[in-house]
Amino acid sequence: MKIAVVCDVLGEETNGTTLAAANLIRHLQSQKDIELNVLCADQDKKDLPNYYVVPNLSFGKLIDSIIAKNNVKLAKPDDEIVAEALKDADHVHIMLPFVLGRHALKYCKEHGITTTAGFHAQAENLSSHFRLQNFELLNKAIYKNFYKGFYKDINGIHYPTQFIKDDFENRLKIKTNGYIISNGVNTVITKQNIEKPQELKDKIVILSTGRYAVEKNQQTLIRAVKYSKYKDKIQLIFAGQGPLENKFKKMAKKLPNYPIFKVYPRQEMTNVVNMCDLYVHPAIIELEGIACLEAICAGILGIVSDSKKSAATNFVVDQKCIFKNRNPKDLARVIDYWIEHPQEKRECEDKFLQSAEKYNQDKCMDKMIDMMIEVHKKYGNQ
């Protein structure tokens, strides 16, 4: 089977969408019975076989600067390159409903190629760049644009969670041909007995992973530490990067122990997750939350916010792992509870670990292939 994957965003694996695309591409490339083309705008891929690279898209200095802060470059369609990448494809999977994805969809419709597409962009992921994430009319307008300009013509939609499928369909009062498949957790993330380095031996190490951005809400965790009974012992680790890095570093100067801000290579993250005492996911907006799932797969107790715009609450195995959204005092209360109940914490971590099997990345990617084959068989002759 000849499959093409279309990526408006691809490059360094520092955001969830790029990571999801890269994992899918690697899995498809490993299949003997699949011939894969990749259409993207990652200029570093120009000399790689079966990669078709279009130019980068510019929206002007202001918007480009906002996009760049999130370590993202968008794609500018080129008719010849798009045609070359897709012309012999049996099926095309499009990662995002943006300019290149829409251009690819138009080509597929004209040439009778079946399509699936991922739902990796929550409306608030876009509106939050302009601090308008709570402007519901704008968020609904974004979803309307996604549907009318893209998803209504897609043969099958990949939703990473039931939460985001419900969110999209309920806001627009529609039903879609949707497949709920987790993006999965890399098999290198497993439970291991990793000792803390000497400088952290006497610390309570709390990890939070994700882009430093408004919707990830790391500021609530920073503020929560000062309300904890154990603030003098707590060492925060923020694994990631993003536009609010300087703001968070400035806020953190008031803490007894200055946090570690660092981008960790994928292999190193296994050690980092396993040496931590707790994982906190304070995100306000979260379509799936792979970082949270990685903690679960390492058997670390995860604490999440109760935000109605986050899927992460669906992963917890105990309601005592949930704190009130944007409430640092309540987060401190939950952190202190689990510090003070080590036996219950171990039991809860075992439950988390038992739930991890469903997020095995290889199995999730196999389901993605099954979805593409099913859609192709169903719509290929129409």
Q: How sure is the predictor about 73, in pLDDT bands with cuts at 50, 70 and 90?
A: confident
Average pLDDT over residues 233-261: 95
CB 221 within 8 A of CB 330: no
pLDDT digits (tens, 9 = 90+) for 287-334: 888 878 888 888 899 999 999 999 988 888 899 999 999 999 999 999
Residues 6+ away with beta carbon under 8 Å from 169? 175, 176, 178
Q: How far apart are CA 306 and CA 216, in angstroms?
A: 13
pLDDT at 149: 97
pLDDT at 326: 95
Percentages (nearest 5) of helix, strand, coil residues in the chain? 45, 15, 35
Q: How far apart are CA 377 and CA 382, in angstroms?
A: 10
Helix (H, G, I), strand (E, B) or coil at 109: helix
Q: How many CB atoms lie within 10 A of CB 25?
A: 21
Q: How far apart are CA 95 and CA 306, in angstroms?
A: 28
Q: How many CB atoms lie within 10 A of CB 332?
A: 23
Q: How far apart are CA 59 and CA 50, in angstroms?
A: 28
Domains 2-184+360-379 and 198-359 share a fold: yes
Q: How sure is the predictor about 67, in pLDDT bands with cuts at 50, 70 and 90?
A: low
Cα 317 from chain centre:
21
Q: Is the pLDDT of residue 72 over 70?
A: no
Average pLDDT over residues 227-240: 97
pLDDT at 68: 64
Helices and strands in the chain: count of H runs, count of E runs? 14, 13
- What CATH class does 2-184+360-379 carry? alpha beta
pLDDT at 281: 95
Average pLDDT over residues 276-284: 95
Within 186-299, residue ranges assigned H as helices are: 218-225, 245-252, 266-275, 290-297
pLDDT at 64: 65
Q: How much of the chain exceeds pLDDT 70, in percent?
A: 96
Q: Is the pLDDT of residue 90 over 80?
A: yes
Q: Is the pLDDT of residue 70 over 90?
A: no
pLDDT at 369: 98
pLDDT at 215: 87
CB 294 within 8 A of CB 185: yes
Q: Cα separations (Å) of 377 from 28, 32, 103?
A: 18, 20, 23
pLDDT digits (tens, 9 = 90+) for 199-220: 999 999 999 998 898 889 999 9
CB 321 within 8 A of CB 292: no
- The Cα diameter of the chain in Å comes to 66
pLDDT at 238: 97
Average pLDDT over residues 39-52: 94
pLDDT digits (tens, 9 = 90+) for 148-165: 999 999 999 999 999 999
Higher pLDDT among residues 376 and 240, named by residue: 376
Structure tokens at 245: 């890095």
Helix axes 162-172, 136-149, angle to 10 degrees: 100
- Secondary structure letter of residue 196 according to DSSP: P
Tell me the domain boundaries of the chain.
Answer: 2-184+360-379, 198-359
pLDDT at 267: 77
Q: How much of the chain exceeds pLDDT 90, in percent?
A: 71
Q: Is the pLDDT of residue 168 over 80?
A: yes
Average pLDDT over residues 346-356: 90
Average pLDDT over the chain, rounded to an integer: 92
Q: Is the pLDDT of residue 381 over 80?
A: no
- Angular region, 188: left φ>0, alpha ψ -120 to 50, beta rest: alpha
pLDDT digits (tens, 9 = 90+) for 102-137: 999 999 999 999 999 999 999 888 877 667 676 789
pLDDT digits (tens, 9 = 90+) for 181-199: 999 988 778 888 899 999 9
Q: Which CATH architecture has domain 198-359?
A: 3-Layer(aba) Sandwich (3.40)
Structure tokens at 39: 């259409």
Helix (H, G, I), strand (E, B) or coil at 253: coil
CB 208 within 8 A of CB 237: yes
Q: How far apart are CA 119 and CA 142, in angstroms?
A: 13
Instruction: Write out the DSSP string of 115-183.
Output: EEEE----HHHHHGGGT-TT-HHHHHHHHHHHHHHTGGG-SEEEESSHHHHHHHHHHHT----EEE---
Q: How far apart are CA 245 and CA 242, in angstroms?
A: 6
Q: How sure is the predictor about 71, in pLDDT bands with cuts at 50, 70 and 90?
A: low
